[in-house]
Amino acid sequence: MQVLITNDDGIRAPGLKALAERRPRDCRLWVVAPDRERSATGHAITVHKPLFMGRYDLGEGIEAFHVNGTPSDCVKLALELMETPPAVVISGINRGANLGTDVMYSGTVSGAVEAAVAGFPAIAVSLDSHEASEPRDFDLAARVAWYMARLLARHGLPAGTLLNVNVPAGAEVKGFRVTRLGIRRYRDVFDRRVDPRGRVYYWMAGEVEDLDQDDISTDTGAVRAGYISVTPIEFDLTKYAALDVVRDWNLDLSAVAAPWEGQ
């Protein structure tokens, strides 16, 4: 089985190293990851400057490269260069969870989305800890990632679908829950400050607020309760239930010239 790994924490990240170290013996591994941290880049791609790749040593038998781009760039380049297509693409292991509406901003999830857009089975894996700093801290998450990757390669998913997997930190993991995305918001998002020259600037901060944290049918609630959350997600953002609602507006091109007159 040939597998492609990317991430948004960078080629040197301990979560990526743990994933590489835990690879199955029958796995041919490609790693193409950003040359530095690219967290919260979402699905950004690089179009206004060139992309450069360099080899990186992750051990014998691993084709590893770093790229001066985003996770989505890395997946695009890898799929272009690999002679044999991957059976699965794994993005991670991220330091810190990617839960609820945070998936929209996550470079980790976007790496997996890019693979799904290209038609490949894909999984994003995150550890619910910002303190993890050594590969051993990611050992359970790495074993979970390979377990899920094997199942995904065997069973597949509907076209355009990927798995977002979040692993709780600590030893008391209760099992798996197949979940939906929770609703995650932030309070006091910006910290207003003043620099030594009197100029006002803002630092992105914010306190997490999970609106359904006690509902273990959501990824936010499941991880909080000690379960590994497995959430199938898709990149089709169409709200199908609203199509007829908008059609009932009776959109009229003749009204476009002066849309507010007589309203």
Q: Is residue 260 part of a domain?
A: no
Please, which pLDDT band fits residue 8 given cuts at 50, 70 and 90?
A: very high
In a domain, 100, yes or no: yes
Residue 83 sits in a domain of what CATH number? 3.40.1210.10
Q: Please report whether residue 207 resides in a domain.
A: no
Residue 88's φ and ψ, nearest 5 degrees, are -150, 145
Q: Is the pLDDT of residue 187 over 90?
A: no
How many domains does one find in the chain? 1
On whether the CB atoms of residues 179 and 217 are closer than 8 A, the answer is yes
Label residue 262 by pLDDT band (50, 70, 90): low
Confidence of residue 171 (pLDDT cuts 50, 70, 90): confident
Q: Is residue 157 part of a domain?
A: yes
Where do runs of H (alpha helix) occur along the chain? Answer: 14-21, 71-81, 107-117, 139-155, 219-224, 243-247
What is the rounded average pLDDT of the residues 86-114? 96
Question: How confident is residue 169, by pLDDT bands cut at 50, 70 and 90?
Answer: very high
Predicted local confidence at residue 64, as pLDDT: 97
Residue found by looking up tokens 């790496």 in the block = 111
Residue 228 lies in a domain: yes
Cis peptide before 228 (omega within 30 of 0): no
Domain interval for residue 98: 2-182+214-255
Residue 155: count of CB within 10 angstroms of its CB: 8
pLDDT tens digit sequence for 33-71 = 999 999 989 999 999 999 999 999 999 989 999 999 999
| Residue 53 forms part of a structural domain | yes
Structure tokens at 85: 């297509």
Compute the average pLDDT of residues 229-245.
95
The answer as to whether 190 is a domain residue is: no
Q: Is residue 262 in a domain?
A: no
Q: Are 33 and 24 in contact (CB under 8 A)?
A: no
For residue 232, CA distances in Å to 122, 172, 222, 247 come to 10, 24, 14, 29
